[in-house]
Amino acid sequence: MIMILICFLAPWLAMFLRGKVFQGILCIILHLTIIGWIPATIWALLVTRKEAA
């Protein structure tokens, strides 16, 4: 539940917490744009749900 909240507020942090540093850096770049925030959040949610399963 906390990871889902982190995915919405800071998707790049969710990537870093999962150990995906390169993807986290790309997610920061994507998250800095207003339009890119939604895809970054979806991407972080997919990675988080995939790791949890």
SS3 sequence of 1-53: CHHHHHHHHCHHHHHHHCCCHHHHHHHHHHHCCCCCHHHHHHHHHHHHHHHHC
> What CA–CA distance (Å, rounded) separates 29 from 12?
9
Domain ranges within the chain, ordered by starting residue: 9-52
Q: pLDDT, tens digit, for every residue of 19-45?
A: 889 988 988 888 888 788 888 888 888
In the predicted structure, residue 9 carries a pLDDT above the cut 80: yes
50: exposed, middle or buried (Cβ count in 10 Å: 0-12, 13-18, 19+): exposed
Q: pTM value?
A: 0.76
- The pLDDT score that the predictor gives to residue 40 is 86
